[in-house]
Amino acid sequence: MNILHAPNNDCSSRWSRPVIVLFSGLLAAAGIVVPATADHTPPSDTQHQVYKIGGDVSAPRLVYKVEPEYTEEAKQAKISGTVLLSAVVEAAGNPDNLQVVTGLDPGLDKNAIYAVSQWRFEPATKNNQPVPVLVQIKVNYRLK
């Protein structure tokens, strides 16, 4: 203490403030980082594994289906074909994370997602327990 407060020691006034500011900043940064890394709980989207069908994982079974609607534009253009969707059928039997893999027409793609989002499944199982699975769903559009 005597060295820092010596009257002829202008190092104390020149260096003490920057050192204190730097040290305070490091402590503040450590205070922000430590709590964030102290919680080892994985993010919610990685807590539940999504399985692939096969082996000891059974496929979900469709129990309720809503047919997609044709758009007027697609009818007039006489568009027909298949929209391929990717989805996760949750352990509760609800489709989630619907995405177009192969599209047909923007309006028909949107209607396919809307219709499939209302579908219900008997869930897939692994060891007799319901599990979420990744599936591909074909939605066919045929003009009558």
CA distances from 54 to 21, 57, 134 (A): 60, 5, 11
Cα four-point dihedral sign 37, 38, 42, 43: negative
CB atoms within 10 A of CB 37: 7
Q: Are 80 and 28 in contact (CB under 8 A)?
A: no
* pLDDT above 60: residue 34: no
In this predicted structure, what is the pLDDT of residue 131?
97
> Which percentage of the chain shows pLDDT scores above 90?
65
82-99, pLDDT tens digit by residue?
Answer: 999 999 999 999 999 999
Joined together, the tokens standing for residue 50 give 């999504």
The residue with tokens 């040290």 is 23
Residue 21: per-residue pLDDT? 40
Residues 12-36, mean pLDDT to the nearest whole number: 39
pLDDT exceeds cutoff 70 at 128? yes
34-55 average pLDDT score: 57
SS (H, E, C) the chain: CCCCCCCCCCHHHHHHHHHHHHHHHHHHHHHHHHHHHHCCCCCHHHCCCCEECECCECCCEEEECCCCCCCHHHHHCCCCEEEEEEEEECCCCCEEEEEEEECCCHHHHHHHHHHHCCCEEECEEECCEEECEEEEEEEEECCC
Residue 139, Cβ density class (10 Å: 0-12 exposed, 13-18 middle, ≥19 buried): buried
How much is the average pLDDT of 50-73? 97
Is it the case that residue 48 has pLDDT exceeding 90? no
